[in-house]
Amino acid sequence: MSAGVAAMAPIPVPPFGSVPFLDLGTTTAVVATEVRVGWEKVIASNRFVGGEEVKTFEDEWAEYCGTEYAVGVGNGTDALVLALRALELGPGDEIIVPANTFVATVEAIVLVGATPRFVDVALDTGLMGAAEVEAAVSDRTRAIIAVHLFGQLTDMDALGRCATQHGLVLIEDAAQAHGATWRGIRAGSFGAVGCFSFYPGKNLGAFGDAGAVVTSDEGIAERIRSMRDHGRPGGAEDRHYNHVRIGTNSRLDTVQAVTLSAKLRHLDHWNADRHRVARLYAEELPSTAVPLRQLEHSHSAYHLMVVRVPDRDRVRAELAALGIGSGIHYPTPCHQLEPYLHWSPGELPNVETLAGQILSLPMYPSLPDTDVLRVCEALSHITADLEPFGDRPGE
């Protein structure tokens, strides 16, 4: 096992500089001209809320995801909250959710007054499956939130059967899975609703906050459109001061819709580049850095490149000393965060083990092969005195 930092021979930082964890500059440059043209059109129209650009992106995103409708909203958290409200989930209802997710997933459940039912995940994928859900279903359970973590869909066949068997609503948190598929079907189109964030660092990222809900249920889409706009009805002449339900202000900004439409045309190409990067990592990583396993029928969007490493915090510190960026997604599981301790089921062994091992490596479409090789070489050296976990999962 590790002999400590003092025993590790330092590696000189190569002269070509650092490897950033994320670089948005190249994707921004690809769409910059088109976005500027679109923004000029918006400025000339003086229509800054709603309008043709928002409707255009909503139609494009629904078609891309394979759903009938997409409703643009202010951010990914609002997408979840409004979806839960549109499904009439609230006090007294229990919603099953994996504990290793970004806090917004759980935050949304609590904000509508429902109860999060935290469950464990598989150690080799980090994903919640049907077995974990089956063990958690109670007479109060109303819904399941499938979190497509790090870009990979969980087993949607098994989860769909489980939801149908127990009469539960299936919701997709697809904030990290833009363009990812299960058996060739895109994320967001399996459940009653699919919820997306377009935070700038996502595979499809806005130039600020933005989100969307996709669905093929016209009633759900209509309710979300109304609730995002202070509860106004659609199509009524007197709609500005007519409020038919309790709503909020969570409209997709017109300038963000322009940006998202421009970027959407490049998403599949960018995702293919992410796959190229992931393949090279898989070939070059040392045995001490174990990528999370990719399910057979899942085609990941590789939002993040996550590996398990021994002595994670030390490894990350030494990467940083070499100018190599990294992240931890997520260092504290939601059931251990102070505001959510009330709903903690106790120990969730795999979630808690992963929280101490996972490390997110640099991943973005334009990441050069030379930088991937540098990261892998650095990991080989840094972890040379550490024992690997065991056989590496295959793809």
**Residue 147 sits in a domain of what CATH number?**
3.40.640.10
Single-letter residue type at 68: E
Asked if 98 and 225 sit in the same domain, the reply is yes
Q: Tell me which of 244, 264, 284 is where a domain ends.
A: 264
Helix axes 218-227, 76-86, angle to 10 degrees: 120
Residue 108 in this model has a pLDDT that exceeds 70: yes
Would residue 17 count as lying in a domain? no
Residue 291 in this model has a pLDDT that exceeds 60: yes
Would residue 145 count as lying in a domain? yes
Asked if 208 and 305 sit in the same domain, the reply is no
Helix ranges, the chain (H): 25-45, 52-65, 76-86, 103-111, 130-136, 156-166, 218-227, 254-264, 267-284, 312-321, 349-355, 369-382
Asked if 280 and 247 sit in the same domain, the reply is no
Would residue 302 count as lying in a domain? yes
Helices and strands: H and E segment counts in the chain: 12, 13
pLDDT at position 238: 65
Q: Tell me which of 224, 246, 264 is where a domain ends.
A: 264
Asked if 164 and 248 sit in the same domain, the reply is yes
pLDDT digits (tens, 9 = 90+) for 357-393: 999 999 999 999 999 999 999 999 999 999 998 644 4
Would residue 163 count as lying in a domain? yes
Domain count, the chain: 2
In 93-227, DSSP assigns E strands to 94-98, 115-119, 141-147, 169-173, 181-182, 185-186, 193-197, 211-215
Asked if 237 and 358 sit in the same domain, the reply is no
Provide the pLDDT confidence category of residue 240 given band limits of 50, 70 and 90.
Answer: confident
39 contacts 33 by C-beta, under 8 angstroms: no
Asked if 93 and 174 sit in the same domain, the reply is yes
Would residue 59 count as lying in a domain? yes
Asked if 47 and 164 sit in the same domain, the reply is yes
Single-letter residue type at 27: T
pLDDT digits (tens, 9 = 90+) for 54-97: 999 999 999 999 999 999 999 999 999 999 999 999 999 999 99
Which domain range does residue 278 map to? Answer: 267-382
pLDDT at position 234: 80
Closest CA to 23 of 359, 388, 335, 325: 325
pLDDT digits (tens, 9 = 90+) for 186-224: 999 999 999 999 999 999 999 999 999 999 999 999 999
348 contacts 325 by C-beta, under 8 angstroms: no
Between the two ends of the chain, the Cα-to-Cα distance in Å is 28
R_g of the chain computed on alpha carbons: 22
- What CATH number does the domain containing 373 carry? 3.90.1150.10
pLDDT at position 11: 42
Provide the pLDDT confidence category of residue 227 given band limits of 50, 70 and 90.
Answer: very high
pLDDT at position 236: 54
Would residue 8 count as lying in a domain? no
Asked if 242 and 331 sit in the same domain, the reply is no
Asked if 253 and 306 sit in the same domain, the reply is no
Q: Omega before 330 cis (within 30°)? A: yes
Asked if 139 and 218 sit in the same domain, the reply is yes
Residue 2 in this model has a pLDDT that exceeds 60: no
Asked if 305 and 364 sit in the same domain, the reply is yes
Point out the residues that are catalytic: 202
Asked if 246 and 285 sit in the same domain, the reply is no
pLDDT at position 203: 98
Residue 5 in this model has a pLDDT that exceeds 90: no
Would residue 6 count as lying in a domain? no
| pTM (whole model) above 0.85 | yes
Would residue 199 count as lying in a domain? yes
